[in-house]
Structure 1
Amino acid sequence: MSLRSVVLVAGFVLAALNLRPAIAGVSPLLDEIMGDVGLSPAGGGAITTVMVVCLGVFGPVAPLLARRIGLDRTLLAGLLVIACGVALRGLDGAPVLYLGSALAATAIAVMNVSMPGVVKQHFPSRINVMTGVYVSAVVAGAAVASAVVIPVERLTGFGWRGVTALLAVPALLAALLWLPQALRGRPARSDGPRPYGTVLRSRVTWYVTALMGLQSLTFYVVLAWLPTIFMERGVPAEQAGYLLSLTNLVQVAASLAVPVLAGRRASQVPYVVGAGVLTVLGYLGVLLAPTTLPWLWMIVLGLGQGASFALVLLIIALRPADPAAVTALSAVAQSVGYVVAALGPLLFGYLRELSGGWSVPLTVALGVLAAQIVAGWLAGRPATLGPGRP
């Protein structure tokens, strides 16, 4: 492999690793952030909610930027904006905390939509492999961030502001590695077909969008509140961060293995339903016996959530009849799905305030998971989304 190829792959992987730390790095520090800034539980949950809303709302900006400056430069701009956003939220005051979070999430939204195009542009003969690498790197980035923020805070003595600002460093490193691609890339316009009319009229689109939104909602609830739930049950903060990291690390393995198996079959229903059931079991463990074998619940939860995320991306790629429809379906599913997902952390915060504990929020989450399994059964059935198809 040439040096150019090594730099390309390294830049791509590191860029993917930056797609979740700005979100995942908040939850282990959430109690400290709320106490320092003076936020209620709902206000603390709103940090993640703001970011997930931005993931849904600003994703459609990516095609506009790509047509104007090219995919490679769009990706570079996203990395630089992530760095600016996480650095900004380390400043004093709740407004800049939310503003910096929104800025970082907007960049992540643009990169989320751009990355599949980058895979096709730079790795046309290895799309399946590099898509798996991409998904695994996204999950691994969340796992690493949730595991290291507390130890880094204690090691450096920087406090939560300095630690969250340090998340700008990997984004800047990824930008440096990606810079040769951005300088080499052509900012030519890319005006491919946009079959949104066909996509929006299809029932398949809304099954997939529902699956995307519901599995994302339960994922971001875990990302935002899981360490807090464990800490309120007496688990030390550092161990709570490790438990969140464990479930994210298990997701890496699931996201690599499950699509290979599920992609060989016409129907993905058994896999999607199985992933939903595993997620239910993980939530039940946290609800009923959080301090009894918590590592087991995290493994089960990670298997379920990692498989669910990978499967919805696989279904998005399989259902449309042509590449242009894949892009359209992905845009619809991610935009609507992430807006739905944004309700999760905020709703959990309100339910925690109203009920005074976590039993009610976790029970509501089980109801959401039941709806996710139904959506998965509908989306996982064999179908083709294309002209004249349902």
Structure 2
Amino acid sequence: MSLRSAVLVVGFVLTALNLRPAIAGVSPLLNEIMRDAGLSPAGGGAITTVMVVCLGVFGPVAPLLASRIGLDRTLLAGLLVIALGVVLRGLDGVAALYVGSALAATAIAVMNVSMPGVVKQHFPARVNLFTGVYVSGVVAGAAAASALVIPVERATGFGWRGVSALLAVPALLAALLWLPQALGKQTLAGGGPRPFRTVLRSRVTWYVTALMGLQSLTFYVMLAWLPTIFVEAGLPADQAGYLLSLTNLVQVGASLAVPVLAGRGPSQVSYVVGACLLTVAGYLGMLLAPTTLPWLWMIVLGVGQGAAFALALLIIALRPADPAAVTALSAVAQSVGYVVAALGPMLFGLLRQVSGGWTAPLLAGLAALAAQTVAGWLAGRPATLGKANL
């Protein structure tokens, strides 16, 4: 491998690692944030909800930026804005908390949509492999954030605000390593009305969008509330954070292996349905016996959620024929999907507040997983979305 190729791959991986810490780092600190800011459970859940709304609303900005400055410079700009957002979130005041979170999430939204196009552009012969690398990097970043924020807080004495601001460091490091790509000649991709008009007319687009939205909803519900569920079941806060980290770490392996296997054939149905059923098993474990073998429930949940996320992004990358079309499909599926997903953490918190326990919220999550299984079966069937028939 040449030095140029090595820098490309390392920069790509480090960029992927920064796509979740700004979100995942909130969950282990949520009780502390709520106490400090005087927020209710619904208000605490709204932090994640605001971020996921931004993931949906601002995703369509990515094709517009990519058509003007290129995918590589779009990613560089996103990394710099993530750094700005997490620093702002660490300042005093509830407004800074929400605005900084929204700013970081807006950058992540643009990068989320851009990454499948980057895979198609830089690694066209290895889409399956680098989709797995990308997704495993995303979940590894989430796992690292959820595992380290509390130990870092205790070691530094900075409090949750200082720990949030420290998340700017890996974003700036990734920006530095991605800089050679951004300074190179840019391939403009993703712009123009044609890709959007054509993807919106395809039924496959809406199957993929439903899968993306429902798997994101069930994922972000766990990302926002999983440690709190275990704490209220009687586990200490640090162990609850480690459980979240475990399920995210398991997702790394699942998201790396599953795309390579699932991409070998035209159909991904069996993989998608299997991932949904494993996620159901994880939810059931938390509902029926949260303190009995919690590590097992987190392993099962992690395999299911990691595989489902990777499969949704693999399908987005495989179906279209070129980076512009991939970016357009990615914008539609992720934008609409994340708007749907944004309802999850807040509604979960409201159900907890109204019902006084976690039974009703977890049953609602199981209902969403049933719908996710149907969407996965439809989205995973063989289909070809070419330039003329997206």
Distance 1:202 1:190 in 2: 18
Distance verdict in 2 for CA 1:215–1:357, change over 3 Å: same
Identical positions, percent = 84
- Structure 1 residue matching 2:174: 3-state secondary structure: helix
Amino acid at match of 1:43: G
Distance 2:80 2:387 in 1: 39
Report the equivalent of 1:265.
265
Q: Deviations over 1:218-256 (max 9, x none)?
A: 000010000111111111111111100110111111111
Tell me the CA shift for residue 186 of structure 1.
3.8
Residue 104, structure 1, aligned to residue 104, structure 2: yes
Distance verdict in 2 for CA 1:108–1:191, change over 3 Å: closer
Report the equivalent of 1:368.
368
Report the equivalent of 2:90.
90
Q: Deviations over 1:298-323 (max 9, x none)?
A: 00000110111111122223334665
Moved more, 365-374 or 184-193: 184-193
Distance 1:66 1:385 in 2: 21
Distance 1:88 1:178 in 2: 23
Residue 127, structure 1, aligned to residue 150, structure 2: no
Report the equivalent of 1:64.
64
Distance 1:279 1:188 in 2: 38
Moved more, 55-64 or 137-146: 55-64
- Structure 2 residue matching 1:72: 3-state secondary structure: helix
Report the equivalent of 1:178.
178
Structure 1: runs of 5+ lacking an equivalent: none
Amino acid at match of 1:149: V
The count of residues paired between Structure 1 and Structure 2 equals 390
Report the equivalent of 1:165.
165
Tell me the CA shift for residue 192 of structure 1.
6.6
Contact 1:279 1:305 in 2 (8 A): yes
Q: Deviations over 1:78-111 (max 9, x none)?
A: 1110001001011111111000000000000111
- Structure 2 residue matching 1:357: 3-state secondary structure: coil
Distance 1:326 1:372 in 2: 22
Taking structure 2 as the reference length, the TM-score comes to 0.95
Structure 2: runs of 5+ lacking an equivalent: none
Tell me the CA shift for residue 263 of structure 1.
1.9
Distance 2:190 2:86 in 1: 31
- Structure 2 residue matching 1:348: 3-state secondary structure: helix
- Structure 1 residue matching 2:255: 3-state secondary structure: helix
Report the equivalent of 2:229.
229
Moved more, 363-372 or 173-182: 173-182
Amino acid at match of 1:293: L
Tell me the CA shift for residue 265 of structure 1.
2.8
Amino acid at match of 1:114: S
Contact 2:190 2:324 in 1 (8 A): no
Distance 2:294 2:113 in 1: 35
Distance 2:219 2:276 in 1: 12
Amino acid at match of 2:44: G
Contact 2:116 2:317 in 1 (8 A): no
Tell me the CA shift for residue 36 of structure 1.
0.2
Tell me the CA shift for residue 387 of structure 1.
7.4
Tell me the CA shift for residue 190 of structure 1.
6.9
Distance 2:294 2:65 in 1: 44
Distance verdict in 2 for CA 1:282–1:173, change over 3 Å: same
Q: Deviations over 1:340-359 (max 9, x none)?
A: 00000010011111011111
- Structure 2 residue matching 1:19: 3-state secondary structure: coil
Residue 18, structure 1, aligned to residue 18, structure 2: yes
Taking structure 1 as the reference length, the TM-score comes to 0.95
- Structure 1 residue matching 2:194: 3-state secondary structure: coil
Report the equivalent of 2:250.
250
Distance 1:67 1:322 in 2: 14
Amino acid at match of 2:24: A
Tell me the CA shift for residue 74 of structure 1.
1.5
- Structure 2 residue matching 1:194: 3-state secondary structure: helix
Distance 2:74 2:53 in 1: 20
Superposition CA RMSD, Å: 1.9
Amino acid at match of 1:56: G
Residue 356, structure 1, aligned to residue 362, structure 2: no
Distance verdict in 2 for CA 1:221–1:357, change over 3 Å: same
- Structure 1 residue matching 2:266: 3-state secondary structure: coil
Distance 1:197 1:83 in 2: 34
Distance 1:61 1:123 in 2: 23
Contact 2:195 2:325 in 1 (8 A): yes
- Structure 2 residue matching 1:342: 3-state secondary structure: helix
Distance 1:287 1:30 in 2: 21
Moved more, 101-110 or 182-191: 182-191
Tell me the CA shift for residue 5 of structure 1.
2.9
